[in-house]
Amino acid sequence: MTETFYEVLRRQGITRRSFLKFCSLTATSLGLGSAFAPKIAHALETKPRTPVLWLHGLECTCCSESFIRSAHPLTKDVVLSMLSLDYDDTLMAAAGHQAEAILEEVKAKYKGNYILAVEGNPPLNEDGMFCIQSGRPFVEKLKETAKDAKAIISWGSCASWGCVQAAKPNPTRATPVHKVIFDKPIIKVPGCPPIAEVMTAVVTYMLTFERLPELDRQGRPKMFYGQRIHDKCYRRPHFDAGQFVEQWDDDQARMGYCLYKMGCKGPTTYNACSTVRWNDGVSFPIQSGHGCIGCSEDGFWDKGSFYDRVTDIQQFGVESNADTVGATAAGVVGASIAAHAAVTALARARQKTGIDTPKGED
Amino acid sequence: MLAEQDQFEAERSARMVKAVYVYEAPLRLWHWVNALAITVLAVTGYFIGLPLPSVPGEASEQFLMGYIRFAHFAAAYIFAIGFIGRIYWAIVGNHHARQIFILPVWNAKWWGEVFYELRWYLFLVKEPKKYVGHNPLAQLMMFLFFTIGAVYMICTGFALYGEGLGEGSWASQMFGWVISAVGGNSLQVHSWHRLGMWVTVSFVIVHVYAAIREDIMSRQSLISTMISGWRMFKD
């Protein structure tokens, strides 16, 4: 029998005390309450490791970069041990045919019982020729590996939505995972990149409880994507007060006012940045003085400027937002009515003065 | 000259009808409450998208944006509940109350009168027809821009409101699908909701103008009808 998570940890010199601390921390970050800490500990002590295969499609590796910087050192150890990176072509020691052999081995040995994590997405144009791995299109490798997987994790905005390579005009037809694989449960962990602690917590949850965390309407784990950046933003009181940064270098910017007018996408972005934050909880974009760009939202590259609040609407041309289109329409209507009223008045005046008016064609 | 159905009604009540009771009290009340709600919604909505200049002082002492949003949400509830009440009145009220919900689209004669009204507005005919309720063109416009528009604004608006209330709230449960329907990014819903505001503003301009103009030009009361309920014919 394969060893348990706990055995792996002990072998790596982690004390039981640290292990239990990790269990409490994970229970808390998953929003489960203290009663769940022993359950997590029990699961990690008794359950055999579930292998995780980590594939890379069209991507920039920012998800991996984020993941290996998970702030809590034990989290990193645990999860990296959990994954054991049975296959991760960026991080694994093996290469070439040796690496591909591991992939085959895990697929055969743990059929229907491994988790597939996908970073990046497959391009579909030209039969998938824009992303070749092991001598064949990535989309084929993805489909083959997904076939026997228990569940799929879509890491980052690439795998979840398409991200920059799928932005208009999307020359390679980069396609998110859920539009290629239809028969497996898919959990989306969007962000460019996602927060490290979010990634590790999602993996821990799935391995511990052997089920998907509760997902929202769009397939994201509710525990981290259930609220907007705006809902938990520490600058929110300035928003409610009506205190905004008007220009990047003004006094309001120095006083840390709300960045809403500078195009902050916090009110439409679901992520945990304003609570979990980044780099061991040091900061997050808004705290650093820049609005949220909404990187964990679908199609965020194609939704107009990062610096406008009322953003451009694609359907009405390159630089038209709701106000341009709407105010123009209202102006045209207003002007037409003024003209119409003038003509009406003129027609009536002429009738009253007895001047002959041309006969209407009924 | 009265349209057929109204003629029938007129003849039934009296030989020489000078006034007909058209809009019942609940409907008239709804109209003006609704008008007020739309005004509040448009003004506050505009300033939610593009807020007023920053207010000075401590954040703890100010709540300007909060009040603007509160007014918007309160007016939205009044608008939406009023709309439900209006649907109820369409069922239990007189046949004029149903006009803005049901179009006689299969009636060729009705379409003919829509075009007649269009020609009247284009100065192509001399005399307008008289109607007890809405004229066919007005009915069409009310249906397209008010009835459809109201449903659209309620759906997009409460979808956005549900984001603030949070996942699992009634608004998110009932209207959250709107966000998924436009591709999942609610920024898009904000844009479309704002565009809806401008459509409504345009509709209000036309609506008010047409009411005043017809009051003068078509020799029948319009504005006072929405206050008293009686349609007066001046000749």
How is A82-136 classified by DSSP, letter by letter? Answer: HHTTSEETTT-S--HHHHHHHHHHHHHHTTT-EEEEEESB-B-GGGGTTSEETTE
B79 has pLDDT over 60 = yes
A151 φ, ψ (degrees, to nearest 5): -155, 165
What CATH superfamily is the domain B4-9+26-53+65-232? Transmembrane di-heme cytochromes, Chain C (1.20.950.20)
What's the pLDDT tens digit per position in B93-111? 998 899 899 898 899 999 9
**Residue for token digits 């030009």?**
B217
Q: Which two tokens stand for residue B133?
A: 């309720």
Is B191 touching A (CB cutoff 8 A)?
yes
Minimum distance, in Å, between the CA of residue B68 and any CA atom of chain A: 9
Residue B17: pLDDT band (50, 70, 90) is low
Whether ipTM > 0.95 holds is: no
Contact call for B166 and A347, based on CB within 8 A? no
- Lowest model confidence (mean pLDDT) among A77-81, A265-269, B118-122: A77-81
pLDDT of res. A155: 93
Among candidates B49, B63, B126 on the partner chain, residue whose Cβ is nearest the Cβ of A241 = B63
pLDDT of res. B204: 95
pLDDT of res. B198: 94
How large is the average pLDDT for residues B138-161?
95
A330 has pLDDT over 60 = yes
Minimum distance, in Å, between the CA of residue B43 and any CA atom of chain A: 13
Is A341 touching B (CB cutoff 8 A)?
yes
Among candidates B55, B184, B209 on the partner chain, residue whose Cβ is nearest the Cβ of A341 = B209
Mean pLDDT of chain A: 85
Residue B20: pLDDT band (50, 70, 90) is confident
| Domain spans in chain A, listed from the N-terminal domain onward | 5-225
Contacts 24+ apart (CB under 8 A), B51-55: B51/A242, B51/A244, B51/A260, B51/A261, B52/A242, B53/A246, B54/A242, B54/A243, B54/A244, B54/A246, B54/A252, B54/A257, B55/A241, B55/A242, B55/A243
The rounded percent of chain B whose pLDDT value lies above 90 is: 57
Is A242 touching B (CB cutoff 8 A)?
yes
Better-predicted residue by pLDDT, A341 or B155: B155
CATH architecture of A5-225: 3-Layer(aba) Sandwich (3.40)
Residue A75: pLDDT band (50, 70, 90) is low
With a CB cutoff of 8 Å and minimum separation 6, the contacts of B111 are B105, B136
Contact call for A310 and B66, based on CB within 8 A? no
A73 has pLDDT over 60 = no
How large is the average pLDDT for residues A90-118?
86
C-alpha span between A97 and B6 (Å, rounded): 86
pLDDT of res. B167: 83
Minimum distance, in Å, between the CA of residue A123 and any CA atom of chain B: 20
Per the rule left: phi > 0, alpha: psi between -120 and 50, beta: everything else, A61 is: left
How large is the average pLDDT for residues B121-130?
83
pLDDT of res. A164: 93
β-bridge partners, A244: A258
What's the pLDDT tens digit per position in B181-197? 888 889 999 999 999 99
pLDDT of res. B174: 94
A226 has pLDDT over 60 = yes
A360 has pLDDT over 60 = no
Is A178 touching B (CB cutoff 8 A)?
no
What's the pLDDT tens digit per position in A131-187? 998 889 999 999 999 999 999 999 999 999 999 999 989 999 999 999 999 999 999
Residue A356: pLDDT band (50, 70, 90) is very low
B235 has pLDDT over 70 = no
B15 has pLDDT over 60 = no
Mean pLDDT of chain B: 89
What's the pLDDT tens digit per position in B192-217? 999 999 999 999 999 999 999 888 88
* ∠ CA A285-A262-A315, rounded to 5°: 105
C-alpha span between B198 and B191 (Å, rounded): 11
Better-predicted residue by pLDDT, A361 or A132: A132
Q: How far is CA B177 from the centre of its chain?
A: 24
pLDDT of res. A357: 46
C-alpha span between A47 and A210 (Å, rounded): 10
Better-predicted residue by pLDDT, A79 or B142: B142
| Domain spans in chain B, listed from the N-terminal domain onward | 4-9+26-53+65-232
pLDDT of res. A362: 41
How large is the average pLDDT for residues A316-341?
84
The most confident of B2-16, B58-72, B125-139, by mean pLDDT: B58-72
Contacts of B179 in chain A (CB under 8 A): 217
pLDDT of res. A361: 41
The type of residue at A43 is: A
pTM over 0.90: no
If you measure CA to CA, which chain A residue comes closest to B66?
Answer: A240
pLDDT of res. A326: 86
Contact call for A222 and B167, based on CB within 8 A? yes
Residue A84: pLDDT band (50, 70, 90) is low
